[in-house]
Chains A and B, each alone.
Chain A
Amino acid sequence: MKNYLQLNLNLLYWILIAPFTGQFFKIGPIFRQMVAIGVRATPMVALTAFSVGVTLAMQAAHSLESLGAEMYIPDLVMLTLLREMGPVLIAVIVIGRSGSAVAAELGTMKVSEEIEALEVMAINPVQYLVVPRFLAMMVMLPALTIFGNYIGILGGWAVCRFALDFNTAGYVLRALESADTWDLYSGMIKSVVFAWLIITISCNAGLTVEGGAEGVGQATTTSVVQALLAMLVMNAVLTGIFFFAA
């Protein structure tokens, strides 16, 4: 826990203060990490989001048909995706795929003395390794969430268009009418907070590895478990703040 807080403070220094003292972060590594963390996750995100969109539409159809309220299916798909399923499920994918990869990579670097070598070369590991990953995650998780939302809505449309009596225009209009900008923003705020949690927990797990290959394995598992729990608890808290307290 002490390590984790220290890492966060260190990160804040390198992101908010260091650029004004002439140590601006290098752009190249950030883009490289954006590809590794975000772009390569798009197929998985697309498949997950599409399945969720389809599932939501089918479940909604099943329940709403008995009430004769099929016309509300797009509303349900849209709101569920924007507010909850989009940010949460895409965070789950990114934790499993990119968070664990970051923890394993940094952990391997730690046990093979690479981190110590960086320190001895007067290169700060937080600045050199964590900052690009952090910034990449902060950009890519919200981006993936928006992308996932689109694909999920497409999944809902597929069900409505081909299995039910919707036409495309009807589905789109209904979906757009139901959602408010706040529905989108609340999801985006969530995914930004999740991004912070995921990347700091993964980096911390990697940087504090001890004990060889076994340690790397443990750290990777720990990072996934901790990131998932932290993300789900934070989701409940944020939902409470956004939709309940106000």
Chain B
Amino acid sequence: MNANAENIIEVTKLVRKFGDRTVLDEISFNVHRGETVVIMGGSGCGKSTLLRHMIGSMKPTSGVVKLFGEEITMMKERELERVRLRFGMLFQSGALLASQTVGENVALPLLQHTDKSPDEIEEIVKKKLEMVGLTGFEDLKPDEISGGMKKRVGLARALALDPELLFSDEPTSGLDPIMTAVVDELTLKLTHGTHMTAVVVSHDMTSSFRIATRMIMLGHGGIVAQGTPDEIRNSPNPEVQQFIHGEADGPIPLNLSQEEHEDHQHVKPRPFVAARHRFHRKTG
């Protein structure tokens, strides 16, 4: 069997720099069909940046990202749209269109990209909302439902076109434990039943170990560790152990100084703020 044909995502030597700072440094990994890969790592380690490169909304400084065997880094907007129809993306905030109802949000990809009749679309919307436990919410506006509900509507929308590949940015943050279990089970059902591939960015260790077939831990711009959930659980790497057990003491630096933090967030240094801090240190 040709191993490459099974690769849904191939990331090769991906480098992304913001100014002088290298956020992603020669990251390489593959995702095979049917896998659920969880990408984890501390805040600001480049998880979201990596995700944005995989969906084609950021262009790398160098390196290659291939989705379904096609290189997306050099693609024009129109070619990219063709690839984007094959995957769904759940944003951290849900990213629902605030001016449209829940039902219209879920129907949006169907209306734009299929020739289905309004009745068929209504049927699909109902089914997708039922899958995420939101039957009967079609006519509410996004600002009338809770954050967790928005996220689930976002998931229903991401699944509207029955994608082969699902990207989720923190799918379970802000959900209660029961809803987390529901979303996890849904992910498992989809990946097992329909051979959907999932790439999940998450902090939630319980949920990650429940759904992952493989885990990748990012840190210092590179991959710190990767393997099956068991391998990660038994990893000798102290950073991994600290992260999965959520301990305050360990090799991962805790309190970044302000300079380091700004460096981290790739914002321009703010001389006035620094001056104010110096002033307070002197006087305070």
Interface residues of A (CB under 8 A from B): 105, 108-109, 112-114, 116-124, 128
Contact A119 to B57, CB < 8 A, known contacts A112-B93, A114-B95 = yes
Does residue B97 face the partner (Cβ distance < 8 Å to A)? yes
Q: When chains A and B are docked, how far (Å) is the Cα of A93 from the Cα of B225?
A: 60
Distance from B100 Cβ to chain A, minimum over Cβ atoms (Å): 10
Distance from A12 Cβ to chain B, minimum over Cβ atoms (Å): 16
Q: Which residues of A contact B183 (CB under 8 A)?
A: none
A–B pairs, 21, beta carbons within 8 Å: A112-B95, A113-B91, A113-B93, A114-B96, A114-B97, A116-B57, A116-B91, A117-B91, A117-B96, A119-B84, A120-B55, A121-B89, A121-B108, A122-B81, A122-B84, A122-B85, A122-B112, A123-B108, A123-B109, A123-B112, A124-B81
Q: When chains A and B are docked, how far (Å) is the Cα of A113 from the Cα of B55?
A: 14
Identify 17 new A-B residue pairs, CB closer than 8 A, beyond the known A122-B84, A123-B109. Answer: A109-B97, A109-B98, A112-B95, A112-B98, A114-B95, A117-B89, A117-B91, A119-B84, A120-B55, A120-B89, A121-B84, A121-B89, A122-B82, A122-B85, A124-B77, A124-B81, A128-B112
Q: When chains A and B are docked, how far (Å) is the Cα of A117 from the Cα of B150?
A: 14
Cβ proximity bits B63-102 to A, threshold 8 Å, 1 near / 0 not: 0000000000000010011101100010111011111000
Q: When chains A and B are docked, how far (Å) is the Cα of A119 from the Cα of B87?
A: 12
Distance from B202 Cβ to chain A, minimum over Cβ atoms (Å): 18
Residues B138-163 near A (CB distance < 8 A)? 157
Q: When chains A and B are docked, how far (Å) is the Cα of A3 from the Cα of B13?
A: 31
Q: Which residues of A contact B82 (CB under 8 A)?
A: 122
Residues B108-142 near A (CB distance < 8 A)? 108-109, 112-113
Q: Which 3 A-B pairs have the closest CB atoms?
A: A117-B95, A122-B81, A122-B84
Q: Which residues of A contact B108 (CB under 8 A)?
A: 121, 123
Q: Which residues of A contact B109 (CB under 8 A)?
A: 121-123
Question: Interface of chain A, helix or strand or loop or mixed?
Answer: helix
Q: When chains A and B are docked, how far (Å) is the Cα of A124 from the Cα of B80?
A: 11
Which has the most chain B C-beta neighbours within 10 Å: A105, A114, A124, A128? A114
Q: When chains A and B are docked, how far (Å) is the Cα of A218 from the Cα of B112?
A: 32
CB closest residue in chain A, given B112: A123
Q: When chains A and B are docked, how far (Å) is the Cα of A112 from the Cα of B82?
A: 24
Q: Which residues of A contact B157 (CB under 8 A)?
A: 121
Q: When chains A and B are docked, how far (Å) is the Cα of A114 from the Cα of B95?
A: 5
CB closest residue in chain B, given A10: B77
Q: Which residues of A contact B93 (CB under 8 A)?
A: 112-113
Q: Which residues of B contact A109 (CB under 8 A)?
A: 97-98
Distance from A105 Cβ to chain B, minimum over Cβ atoms (Å): 8
Which has the most chain B C-beta neighbours within 10 Å: A105, A112, A121? A121
Q: Which residues of A contact B77 (CB under 8 A)?
A: 124
Q: When chains A and B are docked, how far (Å) is the Cα of A105 from the Cα of B97?
A: 11
| A113 & B95 in contact (Cβ 8 Å cutoff) | yes
| A120 & B57 in contact (Cβ 8 Å cutoff) | yes
CB closest residue in chain A, given B86: A122
**Which residue in B92, B97, B98, B113 is a CB contact (below 8 Å) of A122?**
B113
Q: Which residues of B contact A122 (CB under 8 A)?
A: 80-82, 84-85, 109, 112-113
Which has the most chain A C-beta neighbours within 10 Å: B95, B108, B113? B95
Q: When chains A and B are docked, how far (Å) is the Cα of A134 from the Cα of B91?
A: 29
Distance from A235 Cβ to chain B, minimum over Cβ atoms (Å): 33
CB closest residue in chain A, given B82: A122
Q: When chains A and B are docked, how far (Å) is the Cα of A154 from the Cα of B98?
A: 41
Q: Which residues of A contact B57 (CB under 8 A)?
A: 116, 119-120
CB closest residue in chain A, given B78: A124
Q: When chains A and B are docked, how far (Å) is the Cα of A114 from the Cα of B91?
A: 9
Q: Which residues of A contact B55 (CB under 8 A)?
A: 120
Q: When chains A and B are docked, how far (Å) is the Cα of A82 from the Cα of B215?
A: 70
Q: When chains A and B are docked, how far (Å) is the Cα of A119 from the Cα of B57?
A: 8
Q: When chains A and B are docked, how far (Å) is the Cα of A117 from the Cα of B151?
A: 13
CB closest residue in chain A, given B169: A113
Distance from B198 Cβ to chain A, minimum over Cβ atoms (Å): 15
CB closest residue in chain A, given B83: A122
Q: Which residues of A contact B92 (CB under 8 A)?
A: 113
**Which residue in A105, A120, A128 is a CB contact (below 8 Å) of B84?**
A120
Distance from A144 Cβ to chain B, minimum over Cβ atoms (Å): 23
Distance from B277 Cβ to chain A, minimum over Cβ atoms (Å): 21
Q: Which residues of B contact A128 (CB under 8 A)?
A: 112
CB closest residue in chain B, given A113: B95
